[in-house]
């Protein structure tokens, strides 16, 4: 299913348009699994498109990561009534 890579293309897999259309799901699977880093699709022997993996989205930050690492003082809620009053005064 793979044609020879043209000079300067590195380790990219090189396929023609018909082959890419016929085997698209297999090509995507190869990219997903890491078996291929890149697939170059050619029309009439001329490279026109590149199929590569997307960068993984950054994982969202989790709350509570430092749970148990710190101890809050007993007086942490002492100022709550004062703070509430300041907000209500506008």
Q: What angle do CA 22, 14, 36 make, to 5 degrees?
A: 85
Q: Is residue 21 part of a domain?
A: yes
Average pLDDT over residues 71-90: 83
Q: What's residue 46's pLDDT? A: 96
- Measured over the CA atoms of residue 8, residue 48, residue 52 and residue 17, the dihedral's sign is negative
**40 has pLDDT over 70:** yes
Q: What is the span of the domain harbouring residue 29?
A: 13-52
- β-bridge partners, 16: 42
Q: Is residue 68 part of a domain?
A: no
The model's pTM: 0.54
User: Which pLDDT band, with edges at 50, 70 and 90, does 52 fall under?
Assistant: very high
How many domains does the chain divide into? 1
**Per-residue model confidence as pLDDT tens digits over 1-13:** 445 444 444 578 9
Q: What's residue 58's pLDDT? A: 85
Which CATH number fits the domain that encloses residue 32? 3.40.1620
Q: Cα 87 from chain centroid?
A: 42
């Amino acid at each position: 299913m793979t044609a020879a890579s043209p000079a300067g293309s590195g380790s990219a897999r090189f396929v023609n348009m018909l082959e890419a259309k016929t085997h698209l799901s297999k090509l995507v699977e190869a990219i997903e699994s890491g078996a291929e880093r890149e697939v170059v699709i050619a029309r009439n022997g001329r490279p026109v498109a590149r199929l590569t993996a997307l960068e993984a989205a950054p994982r969202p930050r989790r709350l509570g990561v430092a749970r148990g690492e710190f101890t809050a003082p007993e007086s942490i809620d002492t100022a709550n009534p004062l703070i509430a009053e300041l907000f209500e005064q506008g």
